[in-house]
Amino acid sequence: MSSPDDEGSPTVSEAGNELADDVIVVTGASRGLGRSMVERFAEEGARVTLTARDEDRLEELAADLPTESLVVPADVRDSDAVARVIDRTIDEFGRIDTLVNNAGVSLLGMQDSRNGLVDVSEEEWDTVLEVNLKGVFLFTRETLPHMYEQGQGNIINISSGLGRRAIAGAGSYVSSKWGLEGLTRTTALETDEEGINVNALDPGGRVNTDIWAHLPEEERQQILQPDVMDDAAVRLAAQDPHAVTGESMAAQEWEERLE
Protein backbone atom coordinates (compact mmCIF):
# COMPACT_ATOMS: atom_id res chain seq x y z
CA MET A 1 0.00 0.00 0.00
CA SER A 2 1.68 3.21 -1.11
CA SER A 3 1.36 6.48 0.74
CA PRO A 4 -0.96 9.13 -0.76
CA ASP A 5 2.02 11.50 -0.76
CA ASP A 6 4.18 9.18 -2.87
CA GLU A 7 2.79 10.24 -6.26
CA GLY A 8 5.80 8.93 -8.11
CA SER A 9 6.03 5.59 -6.31
CA PRO A 10 5.59 2.39 -8.33
CA THR A 11 2.26 0.65 -8.48
CA VAL A 12 1.93 -2.95 -7.33
CA SER A 13 2.23 -4.25 -10.87
CA GLU A 14 5.27 -2.06 -11.60
CA ALA A 15 7.01 -3.01 -8.38
CA GLY A 16 6.41 -6.71 -8.87
CA ASN A 17 5.62 -7.17 -5.19
CA GLU A 18 2.19 -6.65 -3.62
CA LEU A 19 3.61 -5.07 -0.47
CA ALA A 20 6.80 -3.40 -1.70
CA ASP A 21 8.28 -1.25 1.07
CA ASP A 22 5.21 -1.55 3.34
CA VAL A 23 5.76 -1.83 7.10
CA ILE A 24 3.90 -4.64 8.83
CA VAL A 25 3.79 -5.55 12.52
CA VAL A 26 3.02 -9.21 13.26
CA THR A 27 2.31 -10.49 16.76
CA GLY A 28 2.84 -14.14 17.58
CA ALA A 29 5.45 -14.13 14.83
CA SER A 30 7.80 -16.80 16.15
CA ARG A 31 5.96 -19.91 14.94
CA GLY A 32 2.99 -21.40 13.10
CA LEU A 33 0.63 -19.08 11.24
CA GLY A 34 2.50 -15.96 12.31
CA ARG A 35 5.87 -17.22 11.10
CA SER A 36 4.41 -18.23 7.75
CA MET A 37 2.75 -14.83 7.22
CA VAL A 38 5.98 -13.03 8.12
CA GLU A 39 7.90 -15.01 5.52
CA ARG A 40 5.28 -14.33 2.86
CA PHE A 41 5.05 -10.61 3.68
CA ALA A 42 8.82 -10.34 3.29
CA GLU A 43 8.69 -12.21 -0.03
CA GLU A 44 6.18 -9.59 -1.17
CA GLY A 45 8.63 -6.81 -0.32
CA ALA A 46 7.38 -5.71 3.10
CA ARG A 47 9.54 -4.70 6.02
CA VAL A 48 8.34 -6.56 9.08
CA THR A 49 8.43 -6.06 12.83
CA LEU A 50 8.36 -9.45 14.50
CA THR A 51 7.12 -9.75 18.05
CA ALA A 52 6.47 -12.67 20.41
CA ARG A 53 7.94 -13.79 23.70
CA ASP A 54 10.57 -16.15 22.21
CA GLU A 55 13.41 -13.84 21.14
CA ASP A 56 15.65 -16.67 19.91
CA ARG A 57 13.01 -17.93 17.48
CA LEU A 58 12.33 -14.38 16.28
CA GLU A 59 16.01 -13.70 15.63
CA GLU A 60 16.37 -17.00 13.77
CA LEU A 61 13.42 -16.11 11.55
CA ALA A 62 14.53 -12.53 10.95
CA ALA A 63 18.00 -13.67 9.86
CA ASP A 64 16.52 -15.50 6.87
CA LEU A 65 14.15 -12.79 5.64
CA PRO A 66 14.93 -11.08 2.30
CA THR A 67 13.86 -7.62 3.51
CA GLU A 68 14.57 -5.37 6.48
CA SER A 69 13.09 -6.58 9.74
CA LEU A 70 12.95 -5.61 13.38
CA VAL A 71 12.75 -8.00 16.33
CA VAL A 72 11.06 -6.65 19.46
CA PRO A 73 10.16 -9.38 21.98
CA ALA A 74 7.01 -8.67 23.98
CA ASP A 75 4.17 -10.20 25.93
CA VAL A 76 0.98 -8.92 24.28
CA ARG A 77 -0.64 -8.64 27.71
CA ASP A 78 1.90 -6.04 28.87
CA SER A 79 0.90 -2.51 27.83
CA ASP A 80 4.41 -1.12 28.31
CA ALA A 81 5.89 -3.89 26.17
CA VAL A 82 3.27 -3.31 23.47
CA ALA A 83 4.01 0.43 23.41
CA ARG A 84 7.72 -0.39 23.05
CA VAL A 85 7.03 -2.56 19.98
CA ILE A 86 5.10 0.21 18.24
CA ASP A 87 7.50 2.98 19.27
CA ARG A 88 10.52 1.06 18.00
CA THR A 89 8.75 0.29 14.73
CA ILE A 90 8.02 3.98 14.16
CA ASP A 91 11.59 4.90 15.11
CA GLU A 92 13.01 2.30 12.71
CA PHE A 93 10.65 2.50 9.74
CA GLY A 94 8.70 5.75 10.16
CA ARG A 95 5.21 4.30 9.77
CA ILE A 96 2.99 1.22 10.12
CA ASP A 97 0.93 0.16 7.13
CA THR A 98 -0.53 -3.06 8.54
CA LEU A 99 -0.97 -4.56 11.98
CA VAL A 100 -1.57 -8.31 12.16
CA ASN A 101 -2.94 -9.33 15.56
CA ASN A 102 -2.03 -13.00 15.36
CA ALA A 103 -0.87 -13.97 18.87
CA GLY A 104 -3.23 -16.48 20.45
CA VAL A 105 -3.46 -19.39 22.86
CA SER A 106 -5.98 -22.06 23.75
CA LEU A 107 -6.28 -24.48 26.63
CA LEU A 108 -6.25 -27.29 24.07
CA GLY A 109 -2.82 -26.17 22.97
CA MET A 110 -1.64 -25.78 26.55
CA GLN A 111 -3.04 -29.02 27.93
CA ASP A 112 -3.82 -31.28 24.94
CA SER A 113 -7.43 -31.61 26.13
CA ARG A 114 -10.72 -29.75 26.29
CA ASN A 115 -12.13 -28.79 29.67
CA GLY A 116 -15.64 -27.96 30.80
CA LEU A 117 -16.08 -24.65 32.56
CA VAL A 118 -16.07 -26.24 36.01
CA ASP A 119 -12.55 -27.54 35.32
CA VAL A 120 -11.08 -24.24 34.09
CA SER A 121 -9.13 -22.24 36.65
CA GLU A 122 -9.37 -18.49 36.90
CA GLU A 123 -5.72 -18.22 35.88
CA GLU A 124 -6.31 -20.32 32.76
CA TRP A 125 -9.37 -18.28 31.82
CA ASP A 126 -7.47 -15.01 32.28
CA THR A 127 -4.52 -16.22 30.21
CA VAL A 128 -6.67 -17.06 27.19
CA LEU A 129 -8.79 -13.88 27.35
CA GLU A 130 -5.81 -11.62 27.94
CA VAL A 131 -3.67 -13.01 25.12
CA ASN A 132 -6.47 -13.44 22.58
CA LEU A 133 -8.49 -10.30 23.29
CA LYS A 134 -6.70 -7.84 25.56
CA GLY A 135 -3.54 -8.16 23.47
CA VAL A 136 -5.46 -7.19 20.34
CA PHE A 137 -6.92 -4.16 22.14
CA LEU A 138 -3.50 -3.03 23.38
CA PHE A 139 -1.78 -3.31 20.00
CA THR A 140 -4.69 -1.69 18.19
CA ARG A 141 -4.82 1.19 20.66
CA GLU A 142 -1.10 1.89 20.26
CA THR A 143 -1.13 1.61 16.46
CA LEU A 144 -4.23 3.59 15.53
CA PRO A 145 -2.85 7.09 16.29
CA HIS A 146 -0.07 6.49 13.75
CA MET A 147 -2.53 5.20 11.15
CA TYR A 148 -4.80 8.20 11.80
CA GLU A 149 -1.85 10.49 11.14
CA GLN A 150 -1.08 8.62 7.90
CA GLY A 151 -4.72 8.61 6.79
CA GLN A 152 -4.53 4.94 5.95
CA GLY A 153 -3.78 1.47 7.29
CA ASN A 154 -4.96 -2.11 7.55
CA ILE A 155 -5.59 -4.13 10.69
CA ILE A 156 -5.96 -7.89 10.35
CA ASN A 157 -7.25 -9.75 13.40
CA ILE A 158 -6.63 -13.49 13.27
CA SER A 159 -9.85 -15.14 14.37
CA SER A 160 -11.32 -18.63 14.22
CA GLY A 161 -14.45 -20.41 13.11
CA LEU A 162 -15.10 -20.58 16.85
CA GLY A 163 -15.60 -16.82 16.76
CA ARG A 164 -18.88 -17.52 14.96
CA ARG A 165 -19.97 -20.83 16.52
CA ALA A 166 -19.35 -22.72 19.74
CA ILE A 167 -18.29 -26.16 20.92
CA ALA A 168 -18.30 -27.71 24.37
CA GLY A 169 -15.05 -27.75 26.31
CA ALA A 170 -13.58 -24.58 24.80
CA GLY A 171 -15.37 -21.85 26.74
CA SER A 172 -12.41 -19.52 27.21
CA TYR A 173 -11.24 -19.78 23.61
CA VAL A 174 -14.73 -19.38 22.16
CA SER A 175 -15.39 -16.38 24.41
CA SER A 176 -12.12 -14.74 23.36
CA LYS A 177 -12.79 -15.20 19.66
CA TRP A 178 -16.42 -14.04 19.85
CA GLY A 179 -15.06 -10.99 21.66
CA LEU A 180 -12.46 -10.52 18.94
CA GLU A 181 -15.16 -10.59 16.27
CA GLY A 182 -17.06 -7.84 18.10
CA LEU A 183 -13.91 -5.79 18.64
CA THR A 184 -13.09 -6.08 14.93
CA ARG A 185 -16.46 -4.66 13.94
CA THR A 186 -16.34 -1.90 16.54
CA THR A 187 -12.85 -0.84 15.47
CA ALA A 188 -13.94 -0.83 11.82
CA LEU A 189 -16.84 1.50 12.63
CA GLU A 190 -14.60 3.87 14.56
CA THR A 191 -11.90 4.04 11.88
CA ASP A 192 -13.77 3.85 8.57
CA GLU A 193 -13.78 7.60 7.95
CA GLU A 194 -10.03 7.66 8.63
CA GLY A 195 -9.25 5.35 5.70
CA ILE A 196 -8.38 2.37 7.88
CA ASN A 197 -9.65 -1.12 7.07
CA VAL A 198 -10.17 -3.55 9.95
CA ASN A 199 -11.03 -7.16 9.22
CA ALA A 200 -10.91 -10.63 10.75
CA LEU A 201 -9.30 -13.59 9.03
CA ASP A 202 -9.39 -17.24 10.04
CA PRO A 203 -7.82 -20.36 8.54
CA GLY A 204 -11.08 -22.16 7.83
CA GLY A 205 -10.33 -25.29 9.84
CA ARG A 206 -7.72 -27.06 11.96
CA VAL A 207 -4.14 -26.06 11.18
CA ASN A 208 -0.93 -27.99 11.78
CA THR A 209 0.37 -25.77 14.58
CA ASP A 210 1.27 -26.31 18.23
CA ILE A 211 -2.42 -26.40 19.19
CA TRP A 212 -2.69 -29.76 17.43
CA ALA A 213 0.73 -31.08 18.41
CA HIS A 214 -0.94 -33.94 20.29
CA LEU A 215 -2.29 -35.43 17.05
CA PRO A 216 -0.39 -38.24 15.29
CA GLU A 217 1.99 -36.88 12.64
CA GLU A 218 0.06 -38.56 9.83
CA GLU A 219 -3.15 -36.80 10.90
CA ARG A 220 -1.35 -33.45 11.25
CA GLN A 221 -0.21 -33.68 7.64
CA GLN A 222 -3.80 -34.15 6.50
CA ILE A 223 -5.14 -30.94 8.05
CA LEU A 224 -4.47 -27.37 6.88
CA GLN A 225 -0.85 -26.22 6.90
CA PRO A 226 0.49 -22.95 8.40
CA ASP A 227 0.63 -21.17 5.04
CA VAL A 228 -3.15 -21.47 4.58
CA MET A 229 -3.78 -17.77 5.31
CA ASP A 230 -0.80 -16.26 3.49
CA ASP A 231 -2.55 -15.32 0.23
CA ALA A 232 -5.53 -13.80 2.01
CA ALA A 233 -3.32 -11.91 4.46
CA VAL A 234 -1.33 -10.37 1.60
CA ARG A 235 -4.51 -9.25 -0.16
CA LEU A 236 -5.90 -7.72 3.02
CA ALA A 237 -2.62 -5.93 3.75
CA ALA A 238 -2.55 -4.57 0.19
CA GLN A 239 -5.98 -2.92 0.43
CA ASP A 240 -6.15 0.79 -0.26
CA PRO A 241 -7.97 3.19 2.12
CA HIS A 242 -11.76 2.94 2.28
CA ALA A 243 -11.82 -0.63 0.96
CA VAL A 244 -13.43 -3.71 2.52
CA THR A 245 -13.72 -3.29 6.28
CA GLY A 246 -15.62 -4.73 9.24
CA GLU A 247 -15.82 -8.21 7.70
CA SER A 248 -14.84 -11.66 8.95
CA MET A 249 -14.18 -14.62 6.67
CA ALA A 250 -12.08 -17.73 6.29
CA ALA A 251 -8.97 -17.53 4.13
CA GLN A 252 -10.50 -19.07 1.02
CA GLU A 253 -13.50 -16.75 1.19
CA TRP A 254 -11.21 -13.73 1.47
CA GLU A 255 -9.19 -14.89 -1.52
CA GLU A 256 -12.37 -15.07 -3.59
CA ARG A 257 -13.68 -11.73 -2.24
CA LEU A 258 -10.47 -9.85 -3.01
CA GLU A 259 -9.66 -11.37 -6.40
Q: Does residue 173 have an active-site annotation? A: yes
Does an H or E element contain 24, and which?
strand 23-27
| Cα–Cα distance, 101 to 136 (Å, whole number) | 6
- 169 Rama class: left (phi>0) / alpha (psi -120 to 50) / beta: left
Per-residue pLDDT of the chain (259 residues; tens, 9 = 90+): 433 344 333 333 333 488 999 999 999 999 999 999 999 999 999 999 999 999 999 999 999 999 999 999 999 999 999 999 999 999 999 999 999 999 999 887 666 567 899 999 999 999 999 999 999 999 999 999 999 999 999 999 999 998 999 999 999 999 999 999 999 999 999 999 999 999 999 998 876 676 656 666 666 666 678 899 999 999 999 999 999 999 999 999 999 999 8
CA 17: distance to chain centroid?
20
- Catalytic residue from among 93, 137, 139, 173: 173
List the CATH code of the domain at 17-257: 3.40.50.720
Per domain, the residue ranges of the chain are 17-257
Beta strands in 43-126 (DSSP E): 47-51, 69-71, 98-101
